[in-house]
Structure 1
Amino acid sequence: MVLPGLWLLLLLLVGIRWLWGWWKLWNLHLPPLVPGFLHFLQPNLPVYLLGLTRKFGPIYRIRMGLQAVVVLNSNRTIKEALIKKWVDFAGRPPIPYEKLDLDLSLGDYSSTWRTHKKLSRSALMLGMRGSMEPLVEQLTQEFCERMRAQAGTPVDIHKEFSFLTCSIICCLTFGVKDDTLVHTIHNCVQDLMQAWNHWSVQILDIIPFLRFLPNPGLRKLKRFQENRDHIVKQQLKQHKDNLVAGQWNDMIDYMLQGMEQLREDKGAGQIHEGHVHMSVVDLFIGGTETTATTLSWAVAFLLHHPEIQKRLQEELDLKLDPCDPSSQILYKNRMQLPLLMATIAEVLRLRPAVPLALPHRTTRASSIFGYDIPKDTVIIPNIQSANMDEMVWKLPSQFWPDRFLEPGKSPRTLSFGCGARVCLGEPLAQLELFVILAHLLQAFTLLPPPDGTLPSLKPQNYAGVNLLIHPFQVRLQPRNLVPQDQGQNP
């Protein structure tokens, strides 16, 4: 008799909670609700969500499991929420398989989070300001030399980019270029991304109570997280043992010393070594595959548009010597290469690495364009949809870098987010994209493999966070050599 009674009590409590939630929403003017429960199973989710705007407008609700989330699909709605009313929308929803109290990217908004963000931004922009560009230049030149040794042979360019971006993060964070360590970190990041994007983990966002059931995918993810944390803890220990006050060689040195200074600030949230640990994790998870994928999309688009590649090389040849890999333009003078900057902007517009950003949560009741948004509502900014907003972009689905060269002020893409939660790694990513593509196009002509197969410009089915490109190969033909496929002179 006791057990049935407990079940009836549980059902009664669930029913009361549901009725209470329904009653609170009764008098609110909410965004329209799209019928259905399986929207998140769509293979190209960002584009699917964009398509719903034709019927429901740029802001609507869809169900994620039993919870309704609000989707923002235009420049105006995203900017109103994340810039104009950023305090209301700066929160993060809980994730059932992560401990988020120390996480910068996924952690909730608080005074401690603001202090953590200040420390991480300072380490990236001040601590590494003088060494960042020379380091990216050096590693990119070494990358080009490796590619020159494989001249004319089809290569999996995404794997090469992924290792390069991981090497850059390793040097900035740990201060050493150790190929063994880079391989270890790179493998760890790949394992984590694959486990995180697996359906058995992703479904927990929709049906959270499934985390209490046996889940091999979740166990694998936790095992990879433990391995990740072990690597970072080793590096933190080494840095603490060798720390010299007032000196730093990398971001960990800077953050460990900055942490002590912030502790003396009574107005700052209290942070400790665990926050430094998670800053390192965020740099690797957020700064390796995202930049490598954007570089891969750039190569794919240029293989489809050889006329733009030719124009880029002509622009580079006016400023750089194609036979001298050491010649360069400093990033501060990047507008001397306007077409390259426009091409980077166009790739970011069409293929943002994180097309649905990371979900936000309202910290208090608010509104967007006349719709009421209750406290603790999950908000999904559809960045890819905003980047294809016909009210902002002419011919939005076409790859057309020249749109950023037209007279007048060009609109800015939202590919790195905006507001309080804008990607902290944007300056580093923009620097990497500029330096790597400039050196690559200065030294090589990008050609398809011998069978002429061009890469697919359609993304892989959307799962997880990143917008992935289908694997493809490219030939890197050195520009100071006669291409083999032109044959010999008669």
Structure 2
Amino acid sequence: MLLLGLLLLTVLASAHLLWGQWKLRGLHLPPLVPGFLHLLQPNLPIYLLSLAQKLGPIYRLRLGLQDVVVLNSKRTIEEAMVKKWADFAGRPHIPSYKLVSRYSQDLSLGDYSQLWKAHKRLTRSALLLGMRSVEPLVEQLTQEFCERMRAQAGTPVAIQKEFSLLTCSVICCLTFGDQVKEDTLVHIFHDCVQDLMKTWDHWSIQILDIVPFLRFFPSPGLRRLQQAVQNRDRLVEQQLRRHKESMAAGRWRDLTDYMLQGLGEPRVQAGSGQLLEGHVHMSVVDLFIGGTETTSTTLSWAVAFLLHHPEVQKRLQEELDRELGPGAWSSPVPYKDRTRLPLLNATIAEVLRLRPVVPLGLPHRATRPSSIFGYDIPEGTVIIPNLQGAHLDETTWERPHEFWPDRFLAPGASPRALAFGCGARVCVGEPLARLELFVVLARLLRAFTLLPPPGALPSLQPQPRCGVNLAVQPFQVRLQPRGADAGGLGECQ
């Protein structure tokens, strides 16, 4: 019976592939890369960029039963996602996306629609409200972080986890309010996010996504993902219930209050549906998944690059001392005055260029027939924007593989990178992430000199098969307090 089922599925899959090829007859399609095991390549974004050197910046390759189009240059990505954004704002209908997004109530993974636009407006307005008070919060939590790091001064620290807990604390406070700032809740949500991302990135789920009929067979990986999603939903529902029981109309203690009260507003056109509590639920999930590991990983990459380039670190500290004064009591630079620290801004831009945390973005779907660079793109085609490949394109960037922050110091000398995406699907959390990167690195470099353990510089190569995020390989750093008051906590004040 099992063999008969496998045979039937094979026949159906072959028929599906042949039917798809027949429908594409007569179209001017991007060139097709032979083979179908591309996902097995280590460091996939760089592999895809190498294919572009042979085939051009846009081509097709086969992932399982589906052809996808890969964009490998800034020009092709911006033509699709900015110039023709309405044609490519959809999300593909991937099995794991449906499970993780509670059947498209998610903002990041949900398909494009009028209801999705209303969901985005609600989440963005909540974040804009939160941004009014977020800078003092990030400053306070970063100061506490510096104090914890000073207690471990001189000893090697696995700083990735420390950054991850710091960014999770920021999201916890923004989303659930000051009253839940205790470490217990932060660690619970941090562990939940880690478990969900690790399970979701497992090869068994990736295989299921590219060969969907495998869901009809027993899958331990799928069961683990279902359990991780159930645990996530239970934790979020507890917080939503707590908010609804104590919420006062017209008063917003945090982002969750604001979004729950926004559900009743006429935010969508007639007939397009109504925002539900499930949409708030998934906005909270997006804030944790999109606002914890992405920012902490970028901070980790920044530290790794500065350990390899102590001359840049020294210049950054000189800039900070010049603007803030070398003493212990100077005030931090307000984020609105960040132009006072051009090298710090340039360093952040260079880290985001070389190591965009989501190097292949999230896949898009053509919502109607269109074209990119003269090639026909049929409706339903999955589009993968190779953001890291675009950032290493030699036709756009001078010395693209070098860590060279100075490329961003001359006005107009280098284009803006695409680390947060572009167009309708640009990351709504970009302003918060940029503020955190600025505040944390400014305080960290003012308080400490970053040193590697003896003979142990971190690798600048990402983990070879790391799923959605471009994860840095584990490393340690020694934090040497700076200044005459190095024995106290003055540098963190």
TM-score, scaled to structure 2 = 0.93
Deviations 1:370-407, CA, capped at 9 Å, x for gaps: 10000000000000011111121100000000000124
Tell me, what secondary structure is at the counterpart of 2:376?
A: strand
| Shift, 1:50, TM fit | 0.3
Aligned to 1:473: 476
Aligned pairs for 1:203-352 within 5 A: 203-262=207-266, 266=270, 269-324=273-328, 327-352=331-356
> Which of the residues 415, 419, 432 maps onto 2:419?
415
Contact 1:325 1:443 in 2 (8 A): no
Aligned to 1:162: 164
The whole-number CA distance in structure 1 between the counterparts of 2:189 and 2:9 is 46
Aligned to 1:368: 372
| Shift, 1:481, TM fit | 5.0
Change in 2 beyond 3 A, CA 1:18/1:196: closer
Aligned to 1:73: 72
Q: Letter of the aligned partner of 2:51 in structure 1?
A: L
Tell me, what secondary structure is at the counterpart of 2:23?
A: helix
Change in 2 beyond 3 A, CA 1:323/1:230: farther
1:56 aligns with 2:55: yes
Q: Letter of the aligned partner of 1:79 in structure 2?
A: E
Q: Is 392-401 or 256-265 further displaced after alignment?
A: 256-265
Aligned pairs for 1:28-39 within 5 A: 28-39=27-38
Aligned to 1:147: 149
Tell me, what secondary structure is at the counterpart of 2:225?
A: helix
Contact 2:353 2:417 in 1 (8 A): yes
The whole-number CA distance in structure 2 between the counterparts of 1:109 and 1:395 is 37
Change in 2 beyond 3 A, CA 1:332/1:5: closer
The whole-number CA distance in structure 1 between the counterparts of 2:268 and 2:82 is 31
Aligned to 1:391: 395
Change in 2 beyond 3 A, CA 1:201/1:327: same
> Which of the residues 465, 472, 475 maps onto 1:462?
465
Contact 1:112 1:269 in 2 (8 A): yes
Aligned pairs for 1:91-170 within 5 A: 91-99=90-98, 100-125=103-128, 127-170=129-172
Contact 2:158 2:476 in 1 (8 A): yes
Contact 1:303 1:446 in 2 (8 A): yes
Tell me, what secondary structure is at the counterpart of 1:129?
A: helix
Deviations 1:61-117, CA, capped at 9 Å, x for gaps: 011012110000001100000000000000000121343320110110011100000
Change in 2 beyond 3 A, CA 1:400/1:244: same
| Shift, 1:12, TM fit | 7.9
Q: Percent same amino acid among aligned pairs?
A: 70
The whole-number CA distance in structure 2 between the counterparts of 1:130 and 1:196 is 34
| Shift, 1:243, TM fit | 1.0
Q: Letter of the aligned partner of 1:382 in structure 2?
A: N
Change in 2 beyond 3 A, CA 1:374/1:442: same
The whole-number CA distance in structure 1 between the counterparts of 2:302 and 2:5 is 59
Contact 1:362 1:374 in 2 (8 A): yes
| Shift, 1:11, TM fit | 8.1
Change in 2 beyond 3 A, CA 1:17/1:179: closer
The whole-number CA distance in structure 2 between the counterparts of 1:7 and 1:416 is 42
Contact 2:61 2:67 in 1 (8 A): yes
Contact 2:324 2:330 in 1 (8 A): no
Q: Is 333-342 or 22-31 further displaced after alignment?
A: 22-31
The whole-number CA distance in structure 1 between the counterparts of 2:309 and 2:10 is 60
The whole-number CA distance in structure 1 between the counterparts of 2:275 and 2:157 is 44
Contact 1:298 1:347 in 2 (8 A): yes
| Shift, 1:17, TM fit | 4.8
1:400 aligns with 2:399: no
The whole-number CA distance in structure 1 between the counterparts of 2:294 and 2:268 is 36
Change in 2 beyond 3 A, CA 1:475/1:240: same
Q: Letter of the aligned partner of 1:172 in structure 2?
A: L
Contact 1:320 1:442 in 2 (8 A): no
| Shift, 1:7, TM fit | 10
Change in 2 beyond 3 A, CA 1:454/1:364: same
Deviations 1:215-264, CA, capped at 9 Å, x for gaps: 11211111111111011001001111111111111100110111111368
Aligned to 1:44: 43
Q: Is 208-217 or 110-119 further displaced after alignment?
A: 208-217
Tell me, what secondary structure is at the counterpart of 2:266?
A: helix
Q: Letter of the aligned partner of 1:319 in structure 2?
A: E
Q: Is 22-31 or 299-308 further displaced after alignment?
A: 22-31
Q: Letter of the aligned partner of 2:196 in structure 1?
A: L
TM-score, scaled to structure 1 = 0.94
Q: Letter of the aligned partner of 2:216 in structure 1?
A: F
The whole-number CA distance in structure 2 between the counterparts of 1:112 and 1:402 is 43
Q: Is 183-192 or 127-136 further displaced after alignment?
A: 127-136
Structure 1 outlier segments of 4+, above 6 Å: 3-15
| Shift, 1:21, TM fit | 2.6
Change in 2 beyond 3 A, CA 1:8/1:66: closer
Contact 2:249 2:261 in 1 (8 A): yes
Q: Letter of the aligned partner of 1:446 in structure 2?
A: L
Aligned pairs for 1:78-93 within 5 A: 78-93=77-92
The whole-number CA distance in structure 1 between the counterparts of 2:232 and 2:8 is 43
Question: What's the C-alpha RMSD, in Å, of the aligned pairs?
Answer: 2.2
Aligned to 2:22: 23
Change in 2 beyond 3 A, CA 1:19/1:175: same
The whole-number CA distance in structure 1 between the counterparts of 2:369 and 2:283 is 30
The whole-number CA distance in structure 2 between the counterparts of 1:9 and 1:212 is 13
| Shift, 1:408, TM fit | 3.3
Change in 2 beyond 3 A, CA 1:312/1:12: closer
Runs of 5+ consecutive residues of structure 1 not aligned to the other structure: 485-490
Contact 2:9 2:213 in 1 (8 A): no
Change in 2 beyond 3 A, CA 1:235/1:6: closer
Deviations 1:251-279, CA, capped at 9 Å, x for gaps: 00110111111368648641010000000
Q: Is 266-275 or 98-107 further displaced after alignment?
A: 266-275
